[in-house]
Amino acid sequence: MGISTINSTLMKNFKILLLYPNERLQGVAPANLALLSAFLKNDGFEVKLFETTAYLSPGQDSNDKLREKLGQVKKSNFDDYVQLRDSDPYDDFIKMIDEFKPNLIGLSVIDGTMKYGLSFIEKIRHKNIPVVVGGVGTTFNYQKLLSSHLIDYACIGEGELAIVELANAILYGKDTTNIQNIFTKDINGNIIKNSLRAPIDLNTLPIPDFDI
């Protein structure tokens, strides 16, 4: 049986902001982010999500608009189905950082969103908030990501237990270079690779935190 509720009785003084830099109108934020949030909240952390699916800058066509022009899909009034944001996603991200004041940022990327995701981190890197990057794009591109001055940690494979252990290590000032599934770098920039933990027993998974 999975865990059915979020444990909020032992809140820790530590906040995690999950960042999903989705391409505009390309599906929705993946359910695994809700699972990450559930694991973190069950361990007492406060969690928020910033994702960019519904952002559409004025004058910029979505991929659906392009498909309409090419005759691939029927023209429709998008406002009947989705309320798009016309504000600047970078400004909104910076505002959330300033208001939420996270102690750790968890960036989730695929191959096609790595550059976009890093552009958000670049906007707030001067605030010196630790950044861990995960997702399919990270598993296959961790060297490229860790070679950037924008990334501190890379999560390889399953991240639910790894991000909880990493957050606790940062919170309590413990060593962060020996956490399973977490790759990092030493003071000379050399990548430190740790072993991978066994897959999680699906019967122990909490109910995803879709309220995020």
DSSP-assigned states of every residue in 27-95 = S---THHHHHHHHHHHTT-EEEEEE-TTB--TT---HHHHHHHHTSS----GGGT---B-S-HHHHHHH
| pLDDT tens, residue by residue, 112-142 | 899 999 999 999 999 999 999 999 999 999 9
The predicted-structure confidence for 39-66, as pLDDT tens digits, reads as follows 999 999 999 999 998 887 544 455 666 6
pLDDT digits (tens, 9 = 90+) for 159-203: 999 999 999 999 999 999 999 999 999 999 999 999 999 999 988
CB contact set of 3 (below 8 Å; sequence gap of 6+): 38, 42, 204, 205, 206, 207
Contact 140, 113 (CB under 8 A): no
On whether the pTM is more than 0.75, the answer is: yes
Phi, psi of 173 (to 5 degrees): 70, 30
Q: Which of 25-34, 65-74, 98-107 has the highest mean pLDDT?
A: 98-107
